[in-house]
């Protein structure tokens, strides 16, 4: 049996080699299927990896208090000016919930002008509190961050965010990530720590420079990375000088610190809102865990769509292989007759053609895996899409699927070959 | 009796009632006989040989091979009987051009599950026996017609069959090669192998121990 199998592999290999063009065309669709599968596997894996990263990095027990944009009024007369959840409310909530790991308020502005040494650059400023450091803090800090004294005294101090350097020696990364703007260039080339800068015409002292983690160590969570923010100032200072708009309205991020106690924490926050702002539903508490779950479900759905496309490619490939195997059977009918005459059984003949088809499938699977890797790692990076994590089991599984597909689609042609009567097969021209 | 046929009939499909190739053929062949089957084209010689070689099944009558009723044999049993008991020599050689002479000879051994080395030795030995030493690695396309037929005979001998069925083995050969092939076949017969040979050649048939003359699907008296 082993000898017959080895011989079938050898004959199959020679046959595939003898009809290179036909063979390549037949396994091309299988290769495409493999590429698509690897991409989908990678997407699924990446989703779970990110969830894990998020859990490690900041935990999942997060929620956000945001203004209820969906609030509706039946007539303009019913309109009530929504109340402000400002710094004072934030302090009050903090005092009532000391067990929370983080209660961070943030007010953002998108377009401010920073000036240093006669150079004016556009920057986005965010007003934050000291607890900002507890949220997704993917930075290496030089100098110091804000303290409560800065908040209370509305001091004109700021922390600048410096872009991560590209990974050393990686030309591709350099090309992709070198789209730095004037602010990044200024902060990268000048050491501004301790210097005075002007933001929207008001002088601030730079008390810290926070450098982003390099791309490779950067957390890719689901809550959205605030790439845009370039300058941090105390939220109170921002409101006081009118640098951040929104009348002191804050977006509040809360980390209850404990996934298990999350429901209780959410109830506590809702109660706080009700007591302080009434039943007006001016605010909503967004459950980040819920958001992550929704996000993950959407990503998994995308991956499933991709997988079904891959399945279609595999089926197309299988049909191609079936077609080629049938053609091979007909072009080698006489050979089948000779083999039968000298003692090959029907199963020997079946084995011969199935092995040939599986070899085609395997070749397609291997080619697809190589292409899938090239697509997932260097090509996607060159195209600025971010590399897909490809684990060794991904190509292995897609090669296996390719082989199984080829096997399944070869059964019919092999059965036709085995069913030929030896005398008829020998008479074939 | 090695071969025993009774009222053997074969009707090919086609037309209203089919096309009869054999119309009741009865004969026996004893072990060690050299039998020539002769007759004009289309008289059913090759059909008879295919049935004797278990490559085809009769539409009627019975065929017993070494005492066994072949009508009751499964496809696997027929394959096994071909592999171990019957060697074929065809007019157009039917060698696989992709394989070397030695590999062609070894093919029946492969299906018998013989290991690589003994298979190689046996193939080389058989090729030596038909006078093809040194040509083991040549492919059929590199050999002359006579040499190809000798490879085919070596292949037929691979599993030491009791019967050799030859269908016009010299039909595609010049007279010198034909003589060599016939000498080999007669030599094998002298060693005790039963040979059944289909031929057009009356002179050749005369050399055989026994002659079955056919006409219109029947044996002539």
Say what the pLDDT of residue A108 is. Answer: 83
**Between A242 and A329, whose confidence is greater?**
A329
Question: In a 3-state reduction of DSSP, which class is residue A230?
Answer: strand
pLDDT, mean of residues A76-105: 86
**Which pair of structure tokens corresponds to residue A426?**
């020998």
Q: Is residue A211 part of a domain?
A: yes
Q: Across chain A, what does the average pLDDT equal?
A: 84
Rg of chain A taking only CA atoms, in angstroms = 32
How much is the pLDDT for A176?
54
Q: Do A157 and A205 meet the contact criterion of CB atoms below 8 Å apart?
A: yes
Q: How many whole angstroms from its chain centre is CA A356?
A: 39
pLDDT score, position A171: 56
Residue in B with minimal Cα distance to A338: B94
pLDDT reported for residue A225: 44
Instruction: Look up the pTM and report it.
Output: 0.71
Virtual torsion, Cα A360, A365, A368, A370, nearest 10 deg: -110
Q: How confident is the model at residue A224 (pLDDT cuts 50, 70, 90)?
A: very low
pLDDT score recorded for residue A7: 77
Give the H or E element holding residue A28.
helix A20-58
- Condensed to tens digits (0 to 9), the pLDDT of residues A108-162 reads 887 888 999 888 988 889 999 998 888 766 788 899 999 999 999 999 999 998 8
Pairwise CB contact (< 8 Å): B56 & A7: no
User: pLDDT band at A223, cuts 50/70/90?
Assistant: very low
Q: Same domain, yes or no, for A103 and A36?
A: no
Q: Is the ipTM of this complex over 0.90?
A: yes
**Given A253, A277, A304, which residue is the final one in a domain?**
A253
Judge whether A14 is closer than 8 Å to chain B, CB to CB: yes
- Is A268 part of a structural domain of the chain? no
Whether A248 and A306 share a structural domain: no
On the 0-12 / 13-18 / 19+ scale of CB atoms within 10 A, B191 is exposed
Residue among B50, B79, B158 minimizing CB distance to A344: B79
CA atoms of B212 and B196, how far apart (whole Å): 10
Q: Do A93 and A210 sit in the same domain of this protein?
A: yes
Residue A240 pLDDT > 50: yes
Residues A114 and A19 in one domain: no
Using the 3D structure, point to which of A253, A282, A311 is the last residue of a domain.
A253
Could you read off the pLDDT of B5-56 as tens digits, one per residue? 999 999 998 878 888 899 999 999 999 999 999 999 889 999 999 999 999 9
**Could you give all domains of chain B from N- to C-terminal order, each with its CATH number?**
3-97+164-219 (3.40.50.300)
Does residue A203 lie in a domain region?
yes
Q: How far is A427 from chain B (nearest CA, A)?
A: 11
Q: Can you give the pLDDT at residue A179?
A: 55
Q: In chain A, which residues have their Cβ closer than 8 Å to the Cβ of B84?
A: 343
Whether the Cβ atoms of residue A162 and residue A187 lie closer than 8 Å to each other: yes
**What average pLDDT does range A188-196 have in this prediction?**
89
**Secondary structure (DSSP) of chain B:** --EEEEEEEEEES-TTT-EEEEEEEEEEE-TT-EEEEE-STTSSHHHHHHHHTTSS--SEEEEEETTEEGGG--HHHHHHHHHHHEEEE-TT----TTS-HHHHHHHHHHHTT--HHHHHHHHHHHHHHTT-TT-TT--GGGS-HHHHHHHHHHHHTTT--SEEEEESTTTTS-HHHHHHHHHHHHHHHHTT-EEEEE-S-HHHHHHSSEEEEEETTEE--
For residue B97, give how far its alpha carbon lies from the nearest alpha carbon of chain A (Å): 10
Give alpha helix (H) positions in A72-225: 87-96, 148-152, 171-177, 182-189
Handedness of CA A394, A400, A405, A406 (dihedral sign): positive
- One domain, residues A119 and A212: yes
Residue contacts between A and B (CB atoms, under 8 Å)? 70
Helix, strand, coil % in chain A, rounded to nearest 5 = 55, 15, 25
Distance from CA of B159 to the nearest CA of A (A): 9
CA distance A212 to A146: 18
β-sheet bridge partners, residue A197: A204
Any B CB within 8 A of A429 CB: no
The string of pLDDT tens digits covering residues A269-298 is: 999 999 888 877 788 888 877 777 788 888
> With contacts defined as CB-CB under 8 Å, which chain B residues touch A348?
79, 111
A50 in any annotated domain? yes
Domain extent at residue A138? 86-253
Please check whether residues A48 and A97 belong to one and the same domain.
no
A322 occurs within a structural domain: yes
State residue B218's pLDDT score: 92
Q: Do the chains contact at A340 and B55, CB–CB below 8 Å?
A: yes
Question: Based on the domain organization, do A423 and A359 belong to the same domain?
Answer: yes
In tens, the pLDDT along A354-407 reads 999 999 999 999 999 999 888 877 777 777 676 777 888 989 999 999 999 999
Question: Taking 70 as the threshold, does the pLDDT of residue A174 lie above it?
Answer: no
pLDDT tens for the 221 residues of chain B, in order: 689 999 999 999 887 888 889 999 999 999 999 999 999 988 999 999 999 999 999 999 999 999 999 999 999 999 999 999 999 999 999 999 989 999 999 999 988 888 889 999 999 999 999 999 999 999 999 999 999 999 999 999 999 999 999 999 988 889 899 889 999 999 999 999 999 999 988 888 888 889 999 999 999 86
Q: Are residues A49 and A95 in the same domain?
A: no
A426 CB neighbours in chain B (<8 A) are 55, 90, 94
Does residue A218 sit in the same domain as residue A100?
yes
What is the β-pairing status of strands A119-128 and A112-116?
antiparallel
The count of domains in chain A is 2
Instruction: Summarize the confidence of residues A28-42 as an average pLDDT.
Output: 89
* Most A-contacting residue of B47, B51, B110 (CB-CB within 10 A), to test interface: B110
Give the distance from residue A372's alpha carbon to the nearest chain B alpha carbon, in angstroms: 35
Statement to judge: residues A247 and A380 lie in one domain: no
Instruction: Let me know if residue A265 belongs to a domain.
Output: no
Radius of gyration for the alpha carbons in chain B, expressed in angstroms and rounded: 17
Residue A337 has pLDDT above 50, yes or no: yes
> Do A249 and A112 fall into the same domain?
yes
Q: Is residue A173 pLDDT above 70, yes or no?
A: no
Assigned domain for A269 exists:
no
A234 and A309 together in one domain: no
Nearest to B94 among A11, A338, A346 (CB): A338
What crossing angle do the helices spanning A2-18 and A20-58 adopt, rounded to 10°?
110
- Output the six-digit token pair for A3: 């000898």
């Amino acid at each position: 049996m082993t000898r017959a199998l080895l011989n079938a592999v050898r004959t199959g290999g020679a046959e595939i080699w003898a009809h290179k063009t036909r063979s390549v065309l037949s396994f091309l669709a299988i290769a495409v299927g493999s590429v698509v599968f690897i991409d989908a596997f990678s997407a699924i894996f990446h989703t779970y990896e990110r969830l894990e990263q998020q859990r490690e990095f900041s935990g999942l027990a997060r929620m956000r208090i945001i203004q209820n944009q969906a609030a509706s009024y039946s007539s303009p007369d019913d309109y009530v000016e929504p109340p402000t959840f400002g710094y004072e409310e934030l302090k009050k909530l903090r005092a009532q919930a000391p067990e929370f790991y983080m209660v961070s308020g943030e007010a953002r502005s998108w377009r401010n002008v920073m000036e240093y040494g006669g150079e004016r650059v556009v920057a986005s400023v965010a007003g934050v509190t000291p607890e900002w450091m507890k949220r997704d803090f993917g930075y290496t800090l030089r100098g110091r961050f804000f303290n409560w004294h800065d908040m209370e005294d509305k001091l004109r101090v700021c922390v600048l965010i410096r872009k991560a350097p590209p990974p050393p020696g990686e030309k591709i990364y350099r090309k992709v990530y070198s789209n730095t703007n004037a602010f990044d260039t200024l902060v990268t080339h000048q050491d501004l720590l301790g210097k005075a800068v002007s933001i929207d015409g008001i002088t601030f002292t730079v008390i810290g420079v926070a450098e982003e983690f390099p791309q490779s160590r950067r957390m890719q969570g689901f809550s959205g990375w605030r790439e845009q923010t370039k300058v941090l100032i105390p939220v109170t200072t921002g409101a006081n000088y009118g640098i951040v708009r929104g009348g002191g309205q804050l977006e509040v991020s809360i980390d209850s610190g404990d996934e298990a106690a999350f429901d209780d924490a959410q109830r506590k926050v809702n109660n706080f809102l009700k007591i302080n702002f009434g039943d007006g539903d001016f605010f909503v508490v967004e459950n980040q865990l819920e958001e992550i779950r929704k996000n993950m479900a959407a990503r998994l759905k995308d991956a499933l769509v991709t997988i079904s496309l891959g399945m279609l490619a595999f089926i197309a490939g299988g049909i191609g292989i079936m077609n080629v195997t049938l053609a091979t059977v007909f072009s080698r009918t006489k050979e089948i007759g000779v083999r039968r005459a000298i003692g090959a059984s029907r199963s020997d003949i079946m084995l011969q053609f199935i092995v040939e088809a599986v070899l085609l499938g395997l070749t397609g699977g291997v080619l697809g895996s190589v292409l899938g890797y090239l697509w997932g790692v260097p090509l996607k990076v060159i195209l600025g899409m971010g590399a897909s994590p490809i684990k060794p089991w991904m190509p292995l599984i897609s090669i296996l699927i390719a082989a199984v597909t080829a096997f399944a689609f070869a059964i019919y042609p092999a059965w036709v070959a085995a069913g030929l009567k030896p005398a008829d097969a020998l008479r074939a021209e | 009796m090695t071969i025993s046929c009774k009222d053997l009939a074969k009707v090919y499909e086609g037309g209203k009632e089919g096309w009869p190739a054999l119309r009741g053929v009865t004969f026996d062949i004893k072990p060690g006989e050299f039998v020539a089957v002769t007759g004009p084209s289309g008289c059913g010689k090759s059909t008879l040989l295919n049935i004797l070689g278990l490559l085809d099944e009769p539409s009627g009558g019975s065929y017993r091979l070494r005492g066994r009723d072949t009508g009751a044999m499964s496809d696997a049993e027929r394959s096994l009987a071909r592999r171990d008991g019957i060697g074929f020599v065809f007019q157009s050689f039917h060698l696989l051009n992709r394989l070397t002479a030695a590999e062609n000879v070894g093919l029946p051994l492969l299906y018998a599950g013989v290991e690589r080395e003994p298979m190689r030795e046996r193939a080389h030995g058989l090729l030596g026996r038909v006078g093809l030493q040194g040509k083991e690695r040549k492919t059929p396309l590199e050999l002359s017609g006579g040499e190809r037929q000798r490879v085919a005979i070596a292949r037929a001998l691979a599993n030491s069959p009791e019967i050799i069925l030859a269908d016009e083995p010299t039909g595609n050969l010049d007279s010198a090669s034909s003589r060599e092939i016939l000498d080999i076949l007669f030599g094998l017969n002298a060693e005790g192998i039963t040979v059944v040979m289909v031929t057009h050649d009356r002179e050749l048939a005369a050399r055989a121990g026994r002659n079955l003359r056919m006409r219109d699907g029947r044996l002539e008296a």
